[in-house]
Structure 1
Amino acid sequence: MKHACHIRSGKQMSGFTLLELLVVILIIGLLTGIVAPRFLGQVSRSEATAARAQMDAFDKALQAYRLDTGRFPTGGQGLRALTTRPSDEPRWRGPYLQGDVPPDPWGMPYQYRSPGTDGKDYNLLSYGRDRAPGGTGDDADLSR
């Protein structure tokens, strides 16, 4: 039986060179720089979309509350009147929302005022990503 002999040269070729690793790291960095801002922009838009959807649900619940009681909850009663019967409201037939009133997508409570401004029955708003009144772009307030 013959055995095959392997002759090794002085240099062994295995692994990656430092230059190859640097090129891969550069490519990953470039891709991250291009993709990350677009992805984060999508996240901001989805949070605003979720806030608008929640505010629409609150509006429907507030309209049902008004149909039952003849008025919207007062500013003092706030949105919790949609889930818990106010002590001074005999015609309440809720709860008008399931569970507790959720915070906005940024973790802050929605702002409810009744009576509202500009002739509205109520104002409902979220301060947005910056969690402060005012702002532009992704930090803009959302209102209903």
Structure 2
Amino acid sequence: MNLCSDYPKRPFPAAASALRRKRRKSRRKQRGFNLIELMVVLVIIGLLAGLVGPRLLGTVESSKVRTADTQVKMLKGALMTYALDVGNFPSTSEGLAALMAPPADAADYWNGPYLDDELPLDPWRTPYRYEFPADNLQGYALYSLGADAQPGGEGNNADIGYLPAEPAG
């Protein structure tokens, strides 16, 4: 005699159907967001971006200005060390590259490189400007053109660094 044949194939049919109904209900609940909920979330994200975005962007730009100012001061220190070793500042044609490799006319006194890393670009990815006029009446100019990469400007677009004084006139 087979004992298994006496048992019904479904021992608890009512419990099984209740379990299926419960699964269907839970699936309906897990389907996702409806359109209204999605719209509310998008509006909240838009408001947050509108309030926080400009403040964050302004902070990034002002930190770029501070970074450029710090890098100009670092380059000024390297130029001063170069001038102490060689006896004068690099010419305009030699430029800031003279801090990394000795110019032909200063090879005997050059004790560089005067920077630990390669020559930096300003925070807007343009080279720093260096000018040392042959007449040497106003000293050297070392500066970044700022965010707009154009001479002059105001705010974040202003030139940053050491510019020669305007002649009195």
In 2, Cα distance between equivalents of 1:63 and 1:57: 10
Consecutive unaligned residues of structure 1, counting only runs of 5 or more, are none
Q: Which residue of 2 aligns with 1:88?
A: 105
Q: Which residue of 1 aligns with 2:124?
A: 106
Among 73, 79, 90, which residue is 1:73 paired with? 90
- Higher share of residues assigned helix: 2
| Secondary structure of the corresponding residue to residue 143 of structure 2 | strand
| Secondary structure of the corresponding residue to residue 71 of structure 1 | coil
| Secondary structure of the corresponding residue to residue 3 of structure 1 | helix
Deviations 1:90-113 (A, max 9, x none): 211111112321111111111001
Asked if the contact 1:83/1:98 (under 8 Å) is kept, the reply is no
TM-score computed with the length of structure 1 as normaliser: 0.86
- Give the aligned CA root-mean-square deviation in angstroms: 2.3
TM-score computed with the length of structure 2 as normaliser: 0.74
Deviation at 1:13, TM superposition (A): 5.1
Report percent identity of matched pairs. Answer: 44
| Secondary structure of the corresponding residue to residue 104 of structure 2 | coil
Q: Which residue of 1 aligns with 2:66?
A: 49
Q: Which residue of 1 aligns with 2:35?
A: 18
Among 123, 144, 162, which residue is 1:126 paired with? 144
In 2, Cα distance between equivalents of 1:46 and 1:120: 30
In 1, Cα distance between equivalents of 2:29 and 2:83: 79
Among 37, 40, 53, which residue is 1:36 paired with? 53
In 1, Cα distance between equivalents of 2:120 and 2:29: 60
Q: How many residues align?
A: 141
Deviation at 1:53, TM superposition (A): 1.2
Code of the residue aligned with 2:104 in structure 1: it is S
Deviations 1:42-71 (A, max 9, x none): 111111111111111101101101111111
Consecutive unaligned residues of structure 2, counting only runs of 5 or more, are 1-11, 163-169
